[in-house]
Amino acid sequence: YFNRTNIYQLLGCDIPLTKASAMTLLTILFNSSMTYMPGTASLIPEIDKKVIAVLRDGRTLLGNLGSIDQYANLVIRNTLERIYVGGEYGDIPRGVFVIRGENVVLLGEINEHKEKTLPIKKVSVDEILEKQRTEQVKMDDQEKAINKALRERCLSPRVNPILEEF
């Protein structure tokens, strides 16, 4: 795992550095020795920055990237699970999140200035969960109607690929 202590050891520093100084030295070190950092090493400059992670199961997590390893396993601190429904969203506080690398579909840095100007409205957790449940019920009803129509035509019904995986 790469964290602030490992970075100090990597840089060979005997004195404590501020987080910004350590990241600046590390960036200079990597940028001067190579223009491309292979694999998860390219995520080292993102440590302690606010990131968004989209997982394979569809969840969206926001928080500060705490550490990474060679398998792209992530530790995200101050994590919020963000749920989008239509033009609205709600944030559920989750704390520290450890994510296995194979479950990450997308990981990116969040521009906090642009995040505040998005044309979506923040609502309460209870409100977004109710809207999500309502949307899920509507989608389930549509899926049942499609499968019923397929069976009436002697065709195989569609199978939920997420449930099939487990």
pLDDT, tens digit, for every residue of 28-59?
Answer: 666 554 555 667 777 877 888 999 999 998 89
Which two tokens mark 16? 């404590």
pLDDT at 159: 77
Long-range contacts of 161-166 (CB under 8 A, 24+ apart): 162/57
Average pLDDT, the chain: 81
Helix 4-11 / helix 19-33 crossing angle, nearest 10 deg: 50
Which is higher by pLDDT, 8 or 71?
Answer: 71
pLDDT at 158: 80
Mean pLDDT in residue range 4-17:
56
pLDDT higher than 50, residue 166: no
Which is higher by pLDDT, 93 or 6?
Answer: 93
Residue 43: other Cβ atoms inside 10 A = 19
79 band by pLDDT with thresholds 50, 70 and 90: very high
Rounded Cα distance, 18 and 24, in Å:
10
* pTM, entire model: 0.67
pLDDT higher than 90, residue 12: no
5 band by pLDDT with thresholds 50, 70 and 90: low
pLDDT at 19: 64
**Could you tell me if 8 and 15 are in contact, meaning their C-beta atoms sit under 8 angstroms apart?**
no
pLDDT higher than 90, residue 65: yes
pLDDT higher than 80, residue 128: yes
Which two tokens mark 71? 């398998």
pLDDT at 18: 64
